Amino acid sequence: MYQFSRAIYLKLADDILDDEVIAGTSNDEQVLRACEAAVERLATDRHYFAKPARTLFREIRIYFPMTAQRKACEVVRRYIDAAEDYFSQLPMHGYDVHGNPLQCRATTRKGTACQRMPLPHNGYCPSHQHLAETEEVEAGIAMVA
């Protein structure tokens, strides 16, 4: 999983601003941590991470000069798209990428997480499939608006 975040960082490492340290740690470390966090979230929470490439680029763009931002955006987009393809093709035999058992994304009437095994295509168990359908309708309405 960290191959993607390290690859993003290595492609961008030469262009990171070296002269200014922001937030108490080096710029290189900030970019690496942001890449790792984005790929981690992509691997574990794909359904709720709408635009991972855009989110990561917005987080790290302050560490690059204006002349390197287009390259940074293209690198982030290319590697995040590859990571999304990779994670979507992983066999989902009841466990996530860390070996933890999968759970339905829905909550019960009592407010606790549903404990049933989700279907691989949308993350909801058979009892909560209607929630996936409403997400698709809401996404379509948002695209139109």
What is the pTM (predicted TM-score) of this model? 0.66
Identify which of 20-29, 39-48, 54-63 has the greatest average pLDDT: 54-63
* 117 — pLDDT class (breaks 50, 70, 90): confident
Distance CA 92, CA 120 (A): 6
Q: Of residues 36 and 100, which shows the higher confidence score?
A: 36
Q: Of residues 129 and 81, which shows the higher confidence score?
A: 81
Q: Is the dihedral of CA 106, 108, 114, 120 positive or negative?
A: negative
Question: Which two tokens mark 81?
Answer: 């798209």
Beta strands in the chain (DSSP E): none
pLDDT tens string 47-104:
778 899 999 999 999 999 999 999 999 999 999 999 998 887 766 566 666 666 677 8
Computed over every residue of the chain, the mean pLDDT equals 82
Buried b (16+ CB within 10 A) or exposed e, 2-36: eebbebbbebbeebbeeeeeeeeeebbebbbebbb
Residue with tokens 């690859």: 7
